Amino acid sequence: MTVNILFAARAERWDTYRQPLTEALTAAGLRFDLRTDFAPDQVDYIVYAPNSDVQDFTPYTGLKAVLNLWAGVEDVAPNPTLTVPLARMVDDGLTRGMVEWVTGHVLRHHLDIDTYIHGQDGIWRRDIPPLAGDRPVTILGLGTLGQACAAALTSLGFPVTGWSRSAKDMPGVTCRHGADGLTQALATAQIVVLLLPDTAATTDILNAETLSLLPRGAVIINPGRGPLIDDDALLAALETGQVAHATLDVFRTEPLPADHAYWSHPQVTVTPHIASETRPETASRVIAENIRRGEAGAGFLHLVDRSLGY
C-alpha cells in the first residue's frame, strides 16, 4: 500500500527537503508518494511547517499524524482543527547545533572574551577569569535540548543547575522544579540559559521579580523563545547592572525590528535566530521513522501533549 505524504511548508523548504526525505523514506522501506499538492482527503501524513498555507486541517479526513519540521510547536498545537497526533521535531543535528551555540556563548561570557575583542586600545589587561567550577550556570528547561546542553557544560566543569516545571533527574546536574525551585535555581546563577518552550506558563518567566533574584552582574543567554523574557524588565535590569549582558537569539517579533532598543544597546548581543536549525538530512530520518512506526502500528515518537503545549 502506498502512503501519501503531503509536504506543507514554504517552497524553498521543498527544494531542500525533497531529496533527503525521498532517500530517508526509501531507506525506511516505505512505498510512498511525496508531494506538495494532494487532494486533502487522500493525505495520510503531513510533513509540516507552521508558517505553511495549511492552517485548517478539517478537510484532511484520512490524516494519521502531523509531523512538525520545527522543534517549536506553539504555533500549531493550539489549532482546534488539528485532532490527530502531532509530533515535534527532535533532531540530532538540531540538538548538536544548539549544544555548540550554547557552549560557545557560555564560554565567551565565562572568559570575558568580548573585553579582549573590543578592548584593543594598548592597555595590558590581565584579569584572570575563574575556572569553570567557580561559575554556576542555570539552564531553564530540561527537555532534549536542555539536557544535552547541561551534559556538555558539566563535562567542562561548570556546576549546572537545571530547572523544569516537573521533577527531573539528571546525573551531575542539580535539578529543581516548581516555583520554589525556580527561586533556588536563579539565586546562584551567574549565567542563565533559557531553553523552555513558549507556553502560557513560561511567558515572561524572566521578569522584574525573577531577574532581581539573580546575583548582581549575571548574564542571560536566550536561544529558546522570545516571549520567555519581559523585554522592558530586561532592559531595566541592564541599566542598573543587575544583569551585565544579554545574548539573545530569539525575539517576540522576528526579524527583530531595526529600531528595537536591543540593536543599539552596548550590553546586548543580537544573533538572528541561528542558535540551531533543523538539518534536512537528519530531520528527514526522524520523519521517515515516525511514518514507518505509524504504518507498523507502533507508537509515534516525540508526541506533543496538547494540554501542555509541548
pLDDT at 67 over 80: yes
Q: What is the pLDDT of residue 122?
A: 85
pLDDT bin (cut points 50, 70, 90) of residue 102 is very high
Domains of the chain: 3-91+278-296 (3.40.50.720), 92-270 (3.40.50.720)
Look up residue 53 and give its amino acid.
D
Summarize pLDDT for 2-58 with one digit per residue, the tens: 999 999 999 999 999 999 999 999 999 999 999 999 999 999 999 999 999 999 999
Closest among 205, 145, 139, 197 to 173, alpha carbons compared? 139
Does pLDDT of 309 surpass 90?
A: no
Average pLDDT, the chain: 96
The stretch 221-225 carries a mean pLDDT of 98
List, in sequence order, the alpha helices (H) in the chain.
11-27, 92-110, 113-118, 144-155, 178-187, 208-211, 231-240, 261-264, 280-296
Active site residues: 225, 273
Confidence category of residue 154, pLDDT binned at 50, 70, 90: very high
Exposed e or buried b per residue across 259-270, where buried means at least 16 C-beta atoms within 10 angstroms of its C-beta: ebebeebebbbb
Question: What average pLDDT does range 189-193 have in this prediction?
Answer: 99
Q: In this predicted structure, what is the pLDDT of residue 233?
A: 98
Q: How far is it, in rounded angstroms, from Cα 90 to Cα 294?
A: 17
Q: Beta-carbon neighbour count of residue 57 at 10 Å?
A: 21
Query: Residue 264's pLDDT band (boundaries 50, 70, 90)?
Result: very high
The predicted pLDDT at position 199 comes to 93
pLDDT of residue 296: 97
- Determine the straight-line distance between the first and last CA of the chain, rounded to whole angstroms: 32
Asked if residue 161 has pLDDT above 90, the reply is yes
120 pLDDT band, cuts 50/70/90, is confident
Residue 147 reports pLDDT greater than 90: yes
Report helix, strand or coil for 174: strand
Res. 119: pLDDT tops 80: no
Q: How far is CA 287 from CA 72, 181, 244, in A?
A: 15, 36, 41
